[in-house]
């Protein structure tokens, strides 16, 4: 998946660590970066989840490390797709597997009447559904 940088070179996407206020390390954030001018920008599709996560930290966060792939299904799927032992599997297969996994968990959450958990799982499923057209490019 590529995008053109303002300088004209191609930007490539990879998972990187974002540092917030010099204290919080957010790992595995999909970032576009340009090798020729070093410009980088957050993958637009994950911005809502990233700003939401940063919003929960408040103005004076403690020093900590967060895994973005735990809140963003896009980052999770990108990680899965780049794991060496999954190299032979298609991205569609990985996405299908994750959807099935989330649906199983959703059934479990609903049978336990765990509403916050169900809501979280529904949000994750909608993240995948929303991006199912773009995710195949990873
Ligand atoms: Zn550039």
Please tell me the distance between residue 13's alpha carbon and the centre of ligand 1 in angstroms. Answer: 13
Percentage of residues in the chain having pLDDT higher than 70? 91
Model confidence at 10: pLDDT above 60? yes
Q: Is 59 exposed, middle or buried (0-12, 13-18, 19+ CB in 10 A)?
A: exposed
Beta-bridge partner residues of 33: 12, 40
Residue 129 has pLDDT above 80, yes or no: no
Q: What is the DSSP letter of 85?
A: G
Q: State phi, psi for 65 to the nearest 5 degrees.
A: -120, 130
Ligand 1 centroid to residue 66 C-alpha, Å? 28
If you average pLDDT over every residue of the chain, what do you get?
A: 87
pLDDT at 136 over 80: no
pLDDT of amino acid 131: 60
- Cα 75 to ligand 1 centroid, rounded to whole Å: 23
How many alpha carbons fall within 13 Å on the CB side of residue 65?
Answer: 4
Q: How many CB atoms lie within 10 A of CB 75?
A: 25
């Amino acid at each position: 998946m590529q995008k053109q940088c303002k300088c004209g070179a191609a930007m490539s996407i990879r998972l990187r660590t974002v540092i917030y206020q010099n204290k919080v390390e957010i790992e595995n954030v999909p970032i576009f970066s340009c090798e020729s001018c070093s410009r980088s920008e957050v993958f637009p599709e994950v911005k809502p989840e990233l700003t939401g996560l940063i919003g929960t930290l408040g103005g004076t966060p403690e020093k900590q490390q967060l895994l973005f792939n735990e809140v963003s299904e896009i980052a999770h799927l990108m990680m899965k797709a780049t794991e060496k032992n999954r190299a032979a599997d298609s991205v569609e297969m990985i996405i299908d597997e994750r959807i099935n996994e989330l649906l199983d968990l959703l059934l479990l959450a609903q049978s336990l009447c765990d509403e916050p958990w169900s809501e979280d799982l529904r949000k994750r499923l909608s993240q995948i559904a929303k991006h199912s057209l773009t995710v195949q490019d990873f």
